[in-house]
Amino acid sequence: MIDKGVTTFMILATSLVMLMTPGLAFFYGGLGNKKNILNIMMQSFVSLGITTVLWYTFGYSLCFSGTLSEGTDLFGIIGNFDKAFLNGITPSTIMPGKGFPEYVFFAYQMMFAIITPALITGAFIDRVTFKSYVFFLIFWQIFVYYPFVHMVWGGGILQEWGVLDFAGGIVVHATAGFAALVAVLYVGKRKDLDHKPNNIPLVAIGTALLWFGWYGFNAGSELDIDAVTVSAFINTDVSASFAAVTWVIIEWNRGARKPTFIGLMTGAVAGLATITPAAGFVTVHSAAIIGIIAGIMCYLAVEFKNYMKFDDALDVWGVHGMGGVFGTILLGIFATKEINAAAPNGLLNGGGFELLGKELVALLLAIVWASAFTWGMLVLINKFITVKVSELDQEQGLDLTMHGEIARVH
């Protein structure tokens, strides 16, 4: 029996998460070089198409078919092909234990699959050929994203062990963030490092869409309408707000001693990324603390990146990667049964180090796995398709050389 209220909510949440990918395109497009606006935006938008094809044909099945407990997956690492091409699923098929059709769950999880590899693109902006990125997008999902979805959310080995990740601190942000860092180390630095955002209002539009969509990203991950949904919803906003203010305060007292709009927006995104794994497991008071920690630690991560001279152009590692890491660790510290009875208490609520230890192991696995596979994929792809663009293409701009278009006609 379909629950119309829950089904409507999940369709809305799915729509909100879909909106995040165009939001990311605007966010990155405004931050990038004016000669590469369309290239970086297209890298986000093309995932809407390619990922949907992959998800329909076999991606959903590999993530959510078979479980370790039933012995029907591959060693708890990846699922099977039972649901390939939505085999056995009709519009009236109800998601087990839920009140909405499985089609809606298929679509909701697909939106996560779409935005995750797109996050990586902000790191290697201006330097990667579009053809090589398309192949990277495909292979990275198959060999990094799908296994972690299954292991953490699809009945795989980490879920069976008790690892928690409410909406993607490990599955989305840690894997994408460290893949971004490795990709930057592989492709090297841009020819012109002295660039400023080409359109800050465009960044503001992107931030607004991301923040708005993140309510569906986090609150929708409860897959129901209950007190946990409400907690995830309010925790999302509180963490983002506290992180944004914290970032501005730090920035105001360092360097040029001026509060910047870019800093405010970057801090908000850091808070959103950091609360993601813990959103449905912690109190609103903990969410405020998590936001403050996110503002401080992600700011320091970006400063460290600058000190090491890593050319992560749009701070994907510092904001998303380290945000996912810190958020997952803080989940192990602040989780409480008071908010979510399905989760054990964290370190500060009498749960000891058990949950925190499991989260740390899962994080380490995600970092090593994503880093190793990303490097390997780039090396392999480069044997057949040139990954890094030429200096001449960088100088002329990828919008023109790769796509034959320009963002603004003067």
Q: Identify the structural domains of the chain with CATH numbers, from first to last.
A: 4-403 (1.10.3430.10)
Return the pLDDT at 83.
Answer: 98
Return the pLDDT at 192.
Answer: 77
Lookup: tokens for 374: 């990303």
Q: Which residue has the tokens 């990740």?
A: 165
Return the pLDDT at 136.
Answer: 98
Q: Mark out the alpha helices in 253-345 (DSSP H runs).
A: 261-275, 284-308, 316, 322-334
Return the pLDDT at 330.
Answer: 98
Return the pLDDT at 207.
Answer: 98
- Phi/psi class of residue 89: alpha, beta or left (left: φ > 0; alpha: ψ in -120 to 50)? beta
pLDDT, tens digit, 9 for 90 and up, residues 356-366: 999 999 999 99
Query: Cα–Cα distance between 268 and 263 in angstroms, integer?
Result: 9
Query: Cα–Cα distance between 220 and 374 in angstroms, integer?
Result: 29
Residues 6+ apart with CB under 8 A from 21: 44, 45, 47, 48, 111, 114, 115, 118
Cα atoms in the 13 Å half-sphere on the side-chain side of 142: 12
Return the pLDDT at 313.
Answer: 93
Query: Cα–Cα distance between 396 and 242 in angstroms, integer?
Result: 41
Query: Cα–Cα distance between 163 and 69 in angstroms, integer?
Result: 15
Structural contact between residues 63 and 146, judged by C-beta atoms closer than 8 angstroms? yes
Q: What is the number of residues in the chain?
A: 410
Residues of the chain with pLDDT under 50: none
pLDDT, tens digit, 9 for 90 and up, residues 157-198: 999 999 999 999 999 999 999 999 999 999 999 887 767 899
